[in-house]
Structure 1
Amino acid sequence: MSEHDRDRTPVRLDAFAFGGDYNPEQWPEEVWDADMALMRRAGITMATVGVFGWAQVQPTPGTFDFGWCDRALDKLADNGVGVCLATMTASPPPWLARAHPETLPVTADGTRLWPGGRQHYCPSSPVYREHAAALVERVARRYAGHPALRLWHIGNEYGCHVSTCYCDVSAEAFREWLARRYGDVDGLNEAWSTAFWSQRYADFAEVLPPRAVPAIPNPAQNLDFQRFSSDAMLECFLLEKRILREHSPGVGVTTNLLGLAKPVDFFEWARHQDVISHDSYPDPHRADTHVEVAFNYDLMRSLGDGRPWLLMEQAPSAVNWRDRNAPKAPGQMRLWSYQAVARGSDAVLYFQFRQSRGGAERFHSAIVPHAGPETRVFREVAELGAELAGLPEILGSRVEADAALLMDWSSWWALEAESHPATDLSQVDANLAHYRPLWESRITTDIVHPSADLSRYRLVVVPNLYLVDEAVAANLADYVRAGGYLVMSFFSGIVDGNDRVHLGGYPAPFRELLGVHVEEFWPLPPNGAVGLAFTDGHHGTATVWSEWINLEGAEPLATFAGGELSGLPAITRRSFGDGAAYYLGTKPDATTMGNLLRRAAAEAGAAPVLPGAPAGVEVTVRRTADGTRFLFLLNHNVFGVQVPLPPSATDALTGQELGDQATLDRRGVLVARLGLSATT
């Protein structure tokens, strides 16, 4: 057990956490009793309170007024609603900026960002941290023993609006961070390759954040600044966590990770969460948005090493911040909520309970819309609340995965930097190109760090892992040598942790494992494509990238057909130890990628959860500690489908026995309890 596991406070729920952000400070108190009645009607079990409450509880320096919060929490407790209580530090009050403008963040070009929105603080500011800590101390002392308290919510969506600050305060903090990392300035110079372009530093005092410069910035400096910026925000989180632990050691802490947020290293942050929480806002206008959402949910589950996580926020219908804000169609909110549960969430929470009358998010949907509770949105939420109340056995159960997809934030930051053979590579696009065929094949996939123990997985997929150290390379080689199957894509294993090229021929750390030597990168022109000719007679196309590949033990599965590299290997396979490693020296079309991953999965023995399910139907299984299994079938199609069922399945909501197939309406959901004879 790691040090962080020993420090983790388990978060136990006796019912699904169902509800969401409740902001009573936006409404006169005569509305609150109506809110309580509506919460009972909707089956609300948890409310997130106080996320943006700082200015309300501390209206002026040194003046505190918690009366409204006391009364709101008391009402929630009296009505059986638990509270996820925020520390209120996400958005400082205007008086702090007026008294201390040095707490405000500064952009790379020197622009200071002012109050009037939210998240207007420099994460490294000692003044901000001092005032935030003082507030958290008061909140913790006051509410640690409150009967409604179930969970602490620190900050809000770190990195959403301000993920980096380039002010002088941040510059000094960056220098201190670098001194801890490298020990002395000579170590920094070596790591940053400062012999290039006369960038050598004689003293840490000369080092700045990567502010606006006249030419291509130092890539290692940029990479370290992104690491530092994630760590600076994490220091704010940990400061508040220490205070909460002191005053309420038995209450768990969390913060809501936003989507697939590039500025925040989720793997590092996850080590400090008692439970992983996530905010999910898919776009109803995108027909395949549920695949990216599934990826994010698999990541959240994996961050907690398979433990249940919490869907902390979603919209009951439309959001307010896209160019076109589509509402969720009838049944879509229910379908997408069950998608979170199917992939490991023990919570379905919304932003927010009552739709705001004013402010920037006044057109963001809510459980209680402007039109009131006699609306489609409220009815759908209440119906879902009743359903989840009937599924208590699922709480705490886990999802088991046969496959893993590797992801690393440092590699992501470095991959998308400037001055590469191609500067339009996207880590998210690469992840989804590799993940989608697994989703379509119903092969459950964890999203894990490259240094993780991979022995439990039959198949490991590696999309464009540009930055690796020797330990990671050894981890992947050991996995395959012991019988694992690996699929790796181009531009992987190119640089070390300081963005310095591994010498010895690309991809040096993986040459033996893959059995290839890449002599040159050969990016394709914008919108360009090249043919692929497979040794079994099949053909495909590829885009974005190609490589001059020399074989060193691998066998070619496909060669380039056309262009300057015509006839040279494009996709290879090598037997290595008791396993095998595939290498993709280009980006195949979706059909070809699907065929390749299905071949590798079949070789590896990574089996679909439910073979024969129609296209567009998502399938997962959650298993309880006593071995009971719940099968989730989610129809993302806009038409009904027939889905084959394993034997001895019953409807988990009604207890009705199911036959050998189920009918799912458009956007339909079925949760089935599997009998002992079921093979799924």
Structure 2
Amino acid sequence: MTVTDTSASTVTERTADKPLGHGPDAVRRPFRWPALLTDNGRGIAYGGDYNPDQWPEDVWDDDVRLMVKAGVNTVALAIFSWDRIQPTEDTWDFDWLDRIIDKLGRAGIAVDLASATAAAPLWLYEKHPEVLPIERNGDVVNAGSRQSWRPTSPVFREYALDLCRRLAEHYKDNPYVTAWHMNNEYGWNNRHDYSDDSLREFRRWCERKYGTIDALNEAWGTAFWSQHVNSFDEVLLPRHMGGDSMVNPGQMLDYERFGSDCLKEFYKAERDAIEAICPGKPFTTNFMVSTDQCCMDYADWSDDVDFVSNDHYFTAGRDHLDELACSDSLVSGFAQRRPWYLMEHSTSAVQWKPLNSRKRHGQLVRDALAHVALGSDAICFFQWRQSRSGAECFHSAMLPHAGEDSAVYREVCELGGMLRTLSDAGVQGSEVRRSRTAILFDADCEWMTRCETLPSMKLNHWHDVRDWYYAFLDAGVRADVVPLRADWSEYDTIVMPTMINLSEFACDRVRGYVRDGGRVVIGYATGLMDETFHTALGGYPGMLRDVAGVRAEEFNILGPVDGDPDTVGLSSGAIARLWANVVTSVADSAAVLATYEGADAEEWELDGVPALVRNAYGDGEAYYVGCDLDRKALGDFVRGYLAGAGAAEVAAADAAILHTVRETANVCFDFYLPRGKEDVTLESVPGDVIIAHRCEPNGNGGYTLHRNATLITRTTK
């Protein structure tokens, strides 16, 4: 097979990145990447979290020896070491940290030094139990795990910032510390806090956002259920109100926004405390983006880091590689296609999932190289040495319990050699080539689809983004996942899956994009309401009804109800699940592509009702997908309407391979990764092969790629 390049064109000169923050005064920090301790400071970073304080000091020299052998050139240090640095309120101990940083640095291993605030020492909780978060039902989140603290607690902030300043003073001139790692996975255990501290700050947040109490009452629709508030002092948190209660959805959405904002403000306070003393080194914090989580408004957060970092843990099974690529694509969107930093992933099994599958058949190397293919210039694991005790002792690591003589460590060394090869070839600093399609993601839409007062509680914006991403891969083309607030004007097509709440500003951007010749796909639950959870009147999809060229009056929710069909067929052969809109009229400019038909459609009084519609709008067009389609039907839709001329002929071949291109102004790097278990043969590949993992030349200028293979080539432009 010959893989078709379906991506858009190439590198242009970089201008300052546009802010992705949600506020009108958003400003984006300049991109700064941490240097390595190489001669020129460059290269793909390789390493992981290192916790030497979990081990006797006589182990440290062996750790450094084995790191050097594996090609490790960076570690994240002291992430959970607050109690070692400050054993009591009045004592401080940096000596042990000085010794290990010196050992690492002398071996050429750079240190990404943590602020160490993710897990506070128990003496702090004993003295100040008022810093502990409160659950929605009033229960206290007790100490003993990570992040058992309120981001709104002034007491905790005072202790945390004191630690930050002392670390900055002590290490500001240390040449081996090349970056600052703030906290760790903000929101992992304190994303929602219902304490009085949180209530106080939520009221202040609401006052800053709305200015007047009348504006808040209008936004929250407090005329319903006698919820009118007379002043910001009466604003409440959405605490537990009874087993059968329903939270005001406008209030709930603002509480989600507030939670992301207040944790970001805590991050910024830590960052600023260190930067005031040590301004010359870049700052980051590790996001948590995979298709089963994206808990913060990371588009907003991305403005305030110097380089975007992410922790990603694989999804076992058929979609292992596809899910990784989808998650990475969104991270690349937050980074605006600049290189980003994989702060954590696993060499094999974790210990915190219901089913903890191990990696096999070369997946350790394949996954790492896949992250590089999607734009990462750092490949780091949790963690270096597998813990002997504690909650994560069965979480895999670069150096497992079995030690140096183990398959995992040998593969870690193999990967280190490959990353050196890629560094020498010039991959570091190149950017992923943009595709032709942007699938839009927005934190507000993700939070809103969790609302329990929607027509269906099975909606999930992020999962629908994922399903569309898979559908494009199945059709033999690759899409990008792009934040709604980013610039997507250069894409040929944008897809809007389950973007249930949209501002008028966002809708005007869509109108202008389509009017100027763009193509938009509007999902079945997109544009139903504005950003305050006020439904758009006049028929669905109210916010974008003019662009879609349709008017629907009701939602037909499908599911396992005794005596009723739980699916509905379409004239195209597709099957609608979960949700089917009752479209009662289409614009004169619109063409119906498929209707509901069959016995099940008749039972639901949907026979002949439009399900898929194309509408001309300005110089562009809109496709309206009025029902929830499965992955196969979405793939057929992409092949039939979105993939471009000739797509049907190449799809069967191209769909077997995940193909990405990273490039500079002078060089292209092509990455080829088989998506399935079967061998894939490439008839020809451009350029010089620099990595052929689990690949064999076939004698005709091509390669056979085995399961979990990675083939990387370099071509001079």
TM over 0.5: yes
Query: Aligned pair in 2 of structure 1 residues 530, 324: CA closer, same or farther (>3 Å)?
Result: closer
Whole-angstrom CA distance in 1 between matches of 2:122 and 2:337: 41
Please give the secondary structure, in 1, of the residue aligned with 2:592: strand
DSSP 3-state at the match of 2:136: coil
Deviations 1:125-178 (A, max 9, x none): 111111111100011111122121121110111122221100111111111111
Q: Give the 5 Å matches for 1:504-519.
A: 504-519=538-553
The residue aligned with 2:679 is: 640
- Provide the secondary structure at the position in 1 that maps to 2:287: strand
Equivalent residue runs for 1:556-567 within 5 Å: 556-561=592-597, 562=601, 563-567=604-608
Q: Quick one: which amino acid aligns to residue 301 of structure 2?
A: W
SS of 2:623 mapped into structure 1: strand
Q: C-alpha displacement at 1:290, in angstroms?
A: 2.0
Cα drift, residue 359 of structure 1: 0.4
In structure 2, give the amino acid aligned to 1:592. Answer: A
Q: Deviations over 1:364-400 (max 9, x none)?
A: 1111111111100000000010111011210011112
What residue number does 1:593 align with? 634
Counterpart check, 1:651 vs 2:651:
no
1:266 maps to 2:298: yes
Q: CA deviation at 1:660?
A: 4.2
* Inter-partner Cα distance in structure 2 for 1:433 and 1:529: 20
Match of 1:396 in 2: 429
The answer for unaligned runs of 5 or more in structure 1 is none
Match of 2:160?
Answer: 132
**Structure 1 residue 533 displacement after superposition:** 3.6
Q: Distance in 1 between matches of 2:646 and 2:638?
A: 10
**Contact 2:692–2:709 under 8 Å retained in 1:** no
1:618 aligned partner? 658
1:243 aligns to what? 273
Q: Note if contact 1:171-1:209 (Cα within 8 Å) is conserved in structure 2.
A: yes
Q: Which residue of 2 aligns with 1:93?
A: 121
Does the CA-based 8 Å contact 2:361-2:707 persist in structure 1? no
Shift of 1:423: 1.3
Q: CA deviation at 1:289?
A: 2.5
Correspondence for 1:205: 233
Indicate yes or no: 2:631 matched with 1:631: no
| Whole-angstrom CA distance in 2 between matches of 1:451 and 1:114 | 38
Give the whole-Å Cα distance in 2 for the aligned partners of 1:16 and 1:112. 43
Higher mean alpha-carbon deviation, 4-13 vs 116-125, is at 4-13
How do 1:28-43 residues align onto structure 2 when only pairs under 5 Å count?
A: 28-43=56-71
Partner of 1:187: 215
| Shift in alpha-carbon separation, 1:606–1:307, aligned structure 2, 3 A | farther
| Change beyond 3 A, Cα 1:175–1:304 | same
* Secondary structure of residue in 1 paired with 2:457: coil
Q: CA deviation at 1:579?
A: 1.5
Q: Report the equivalent of 2:483.
A: 449
Tell me the matched-pair count. Answer: 669
Are 1:159 and 2:183 an aligned pair? no
Q: Secondary structure at the match of 1:545?
A: strand
Maintained 8 Å contact 2:518/2:620: yes
**Contact 2:339–2:429 under 8 Å retained in 1:** yes
1:176 maps to a residue whose letter is: R
Could you tell which deviates more after superposition, 135-144 or 253-262? 253-262
Instruction: Report the Cα distance in structure 2 between the residues aligned to 1:26 and 1:247, rounded to whole angstroms.
Output: 29
Amino acid of the structure 1 residue aligned with 2:160: A
* Contact 1:51 1:90 survives alignment (8 Å): yes
User: Aligned-pair distance for 1:291?
Assistant: 1.4
Supply the distance in 2 between the matched residues of 1:189 and 1:566 (Cα, whole angstroms). 42
For 1:102, the equivalent position in structure 2 comes to 130
Structure 2 stretches lacking a partner, 5+ long: 1-15, 19-25, 36-40
Greater relative contact order structure (CA < 8 Å, 6+ sep)? 2
Contact kept? 1:614, 1:641, Cα under 8 Å? no
Q: Is the 8 A contact 1:416 1:423 kept in 2?
A: yes
Contact 1:257 1:279 in 2 (8 A): yes
Counterpart residue number, 1:66: 94
SS at structure 1 position matched to 2:557? coil
| TM-score normalised by structure 1 residue count | 0.95
Residue in structure 2 matched with residue 363 of structure 1 by the alignment: 394
Moved more, 361-370 or 421-430: 421-430
CA-based RMSD of the aligned residues comes to 2.1
Q: Is the contact made by 2:220 and 2:532 (CA closer than 8 Å) also made in structure 1?
A: yes
Question: Among 311, 321, 345, which residue is 1:279 paired with?
Answer: 311
Q: Any idea what SS the aligned residue of 2:658 has?
A: strand
Aligned 8 A contact 2:179 2:282 in 1 = yes
The answer for the alignment partner of 2:581 in structure 1 is 547
Distance 2:296 2:630 in 1: 31
SS of residue in 1 equivalent to 2:365:
helix
Distance 2:654 2:503 in 1: 42
Give the alignment of 1:563-582 within 5 angstroms: 563-582=604-623
The structure-2 alpha-carbon separation of the partners of 1:124 and 1:223, relative to structure 1 and needing over 3 Å to count, comes to: same
Pick aligned residue for 2:459 from 407, 422, 425: 425
Whether 1:665 and 2:680 are equivalent positions in the alignment is no
CA distance in 2, matches of 1:6, 1:48: 22
- Deviation track 1:286-333 (CA, whole Å, cap 9, x = no partner) reads 221321211110011110111010111111111111233221113011
- The answer for the alignment partner of 1:492 in structure 2 is 526
Task: Tell me how far 1:441 sits from its aligned partner.
Answer: 3.5
- 8 Å CA contact 1:437, 1:598 repeated in 2: no
TM-score, L = length of structure 2: 0.90
- Against the structure 1 CA distance between its residues 654 and 179, is the aligned structure 2 distance closer, same or farther, given a 3 Å change threshold? closer
Partner Cα distance (1:629, 1:106) in 2: 52
2:546 corresponds to 1:479: no
Q: Specify whether residues 236 and 449 from structure 1 end up closer, same or farther in structure 2 by C-alpha distance, changes over 3 A only.
A: same
Contact 2:134 2:193 in 1 (8 A): yes
Q: CA deviation at 1:607?
A: 7.8
Higher mean C-alpha deviation, range 629-638 or range 651-660: 651-660
Q: How far 1:445 sits from its partner (Å)? A: 2.4
Distance 1:85 1:592 in 2: 48
Secondary structure in structure 1 of the residue aligned to 2:520: strand
Match of 2:408 among 352, 377, 400: 377
| Contact 1:485–1:600 (8 Å) recurs in 2 | no
Q: Which residue is equivalent to 1:347? A: 378
Q: Give distance in 2, aligned partners of 1:614 and 1:304.
A: 27
**Rounded Cα–Cα distance in structure 1 between residues aligned with 2:33 and 2:57:** 34
The aligned amino acid for 2:420 is A
Amino acid at match of 2:606: L
1:293 to 2:332 alignment: no
